[in-house]
Amino acid sequence: MTKLNTFEQAVADYEPVLGLETHIELDTRTKMFCGCSTAFGAEPNTQVCPVCLALPGALPVANKAAVEATIKIGLALNCRIAEWTRFARKNYFYPDMPKNFQTSQYEEPLCEDGYVEVVVDGEVHRVEIERVHLEEDTGKTLHVGGATGRIHGATESLVDYNRAGIPLVEIVTRPVPGTGALAPEVARAYTAELRDIVRSLGVSDVRMEQGSLRCDVNLSLNKPGEEWGTRTETKNVNSLRSVERAVRYEVRRQSALLDAGERIFQETRHFHEATGETSPGRSKEEATDYRYFPEPDLAVMEPSREWVEELRAALPELPRKRRERLQAAWALGDKEMQSVVNADAVELIEATVAAGTTASGAVKWWLGELSRRANESGDELGALAITPEQVAELQGMVDDGRLNDKLARQVIDGVLAGEGSPAEVAAKRGLEVVSDTGALEAAVDEAIAANPAVADKIRGGTHAAAGVLIGAVMKATKGQADAGTVRQIIIDKLS
Ligand SMILES: [Zn+2]
């Protein structure tokens, strides 16, 4: 059992230094150095050729669309775009890498020296970008015959090279000191911002759950005033929530080790979704272990300044600008908008409004009931089994008086359980507001008869007393009455 400190104790004694390395799969039509398709989900080893299988004599050619996409990312991250750049061989052996080296970039990356600003708790944190470079993905290994899908206990390992050679962009931050107790939130906010920026550029679908955006989280601790500590690298963290949890866990684990006088090993670590823990992987190689050297089979690239400026001029509206525009359009205060951003609900609310409901209606559901459900189940908000269109439909039924908020929450139960659209769930479960005035009047008459003293008060002009009768009617109709209508009927009858 790993000994852990509480997070609060850990950040009281130590200063965390973060670092993030993010891999993004570009959605180019063809691979990085050959014409093979990048389409997802094909039969294993059907999207391969002599180049991506590294057969003798095969020669790579760089994919211009991938270079262009990387320059766009660099520009959106405020980077300098290299005037002269080339690929390098990163040498290591792994069975899912047919060449025995990865074509990557080393001393001459395509983009350098940028930054991203993220807001956490009303504070702006500037995360410096060291480099943005282009490389190729590896294939995929499948371990079969065992219980866990891991290599331990497997009887065979199968390799699928369809993914080998798909363009990957790697975005590396400089170390980020000074975040203190906010380190987990800053890591999450940075990853979310990066994802949103890349999505706005339309160069990747950046789906963390499908692995098209993968995050390696570096973390070290040091005592205030002392040198930075040894860092660990938690690999392939694949949700925003997990990024936050991985940082939190490493802070707690490392601080306990340091307190015990032990040392931190420079190593990669695996993150476990189920427990939120990390476990040791391999000891981390230094760059020199990879014996990088310039790739002799690919030409040097010199992106012309005209091309770079053309791409800069054509950049779309970036997320920060877009959030400012939406905040004004939705008439939200800074705090409320920050809650929307923190809940990762900007796009969901935008889509809900586009589907025909008001901003306040959309915000109410996504930040309220649906956020609560997501927290309960440990899901991302966007992973809930309800679409923005369905939320718009739900609020539409509330606006029409067919549902009240209480019934609407029961309708959400049904939609999340896969029973259909809000209208279908309401019909199946009999959840519509009782709009039959005859039935409501009868229920009001009963309530008046059962509460003569209250009825007298209302007759005497104390309308506030109507609450008791409304409550009785709601109870009698199992919450399916519209409170406003009931109130009106009561007052009409007693005045
Ligand atoms: Zn190929």
* Residue 47 CA, ligand 1 centroid: distance in Å: 7
* Residue 312 CA, ligand 1 centroid: distance in Å: 31
- 414: alpha, beta or left? (left if phi > 0; alpha if psi -120 to 50): alpha
Assess whether pLDDT exceeds 90 at residue 430. no
- Predicted local distance difference test score (pLDDT) of residue 94: 87
Residues within 5 A (CB) of ion ligand 1: 34, 36, 49, 51-52
* Residue 294 CA, ligand 1 centroid: distance in Å: 21
**The pair of three-digit structure tokens given for residue 398, joined into one six-digit string:** 């509330």
* Banded model confidence at residue 287, pLDDT cuts 50, 70, 90: low
CB atoms within 10 A of CB 255: 23
* Residue 48 CA, ligand 1 centroid: distance in Å: 4
* Banded model confidence at residue 465, pLDDT cuts 50, 70, 90: confident
* Residue 87 CA, ligand 1 centroid: distance in Å: 18
One-letter amino acid for residue 320 of the chain: R
Interatomic CA distance for residues 312 and 316, integer angstroms: 9
Note the pLDDT tens digit of each residue in 16-44: 999 999 999 999 999 999 999 999 889 99
- Predicted local distance difference test score (pLDDT) of residue 127: 97
Interatomic CA distance for residues 102 and 177, integer angstroms: 31
* Residue 60 CA, ligand 1 centroid: distance in Å: 9
- Predicted local distance difference test score (pLDDT) of residue 30: 97
Note the pLDDT tens digit of each residue in 149-176: 788 888 999 999 999 999 999 999 999 9
Q: Looking at residues 444-473, what average pLDDT do you find?
A: 88
* Residue 110 CA, ligand 1 centroid: distance in Å: 23
> What percent of the chain has a predicted confidence (pLDDT) above 90?
67
* Residue 51 CA, ligand 1 centroid: distance in Å: 5
- Predicted local distance difference test score (pLDDT) of residue 483: 81
Assess whether pLDDT exceeds 90 at residue 71. yes
Q: Looking at residues 229-254, what average pLDDT do you find?
A: 94
* Residue 30 CA, ligand 1 centroid: distance in Å: 8
One-letter amino acid for residue 141 of the chain: T
* Residue 46 CA, ligand 1 centroid: distance in Å: 10
Interatomic CA distance for residues 481 and 487, integer angstroms: 10
* Residue 65 CA, ligand 1 centroid: distance in Å: 16
* Residue 167 CA, ligand 1 centroid: distance in Å: 12
* Residue 199 CA, ligand 1 centroid: distance in Å: 26
- Predicted local distance difference test score (pLDDT) of residue 191: 96
Q: Which of 221, 228, 218 is nearest to 271 (CA)?
A: 218
Note the pLDDT tens digit of each residue in 85-114: 999 999 988 889 999 999 999 999 999 999
- Predicted local distance difference test score (pLDDT) of residue 284: 65
Which residues fall within 8 angstroms of residue 156, CB to CB, at 6 or more apart?
143, 144, 145
Interatomic CA distance for residues 192 and 97, integer angstroms: 30
* Residue 45 CA, ligand 1 centroid: distance in Å: 10
| Mean pLDDT score across all residues of the chain | 92
> What's the pTM?
0.79
Of the listed ranges 3-12, 168-177, 221-230, 403-412, the one predicted with least confidence: 403-412
Interatomic CA distance for residues 133 and 424, integer angstroms: 50
* Residue 21 CA, ligand 1 centroid: distance in Å: 26
* Residue 166 CA, ligand 1 centroid: distance in Å: 9
Q: Looking at residues 177-181, what average pLDDT do you find?
A: 94
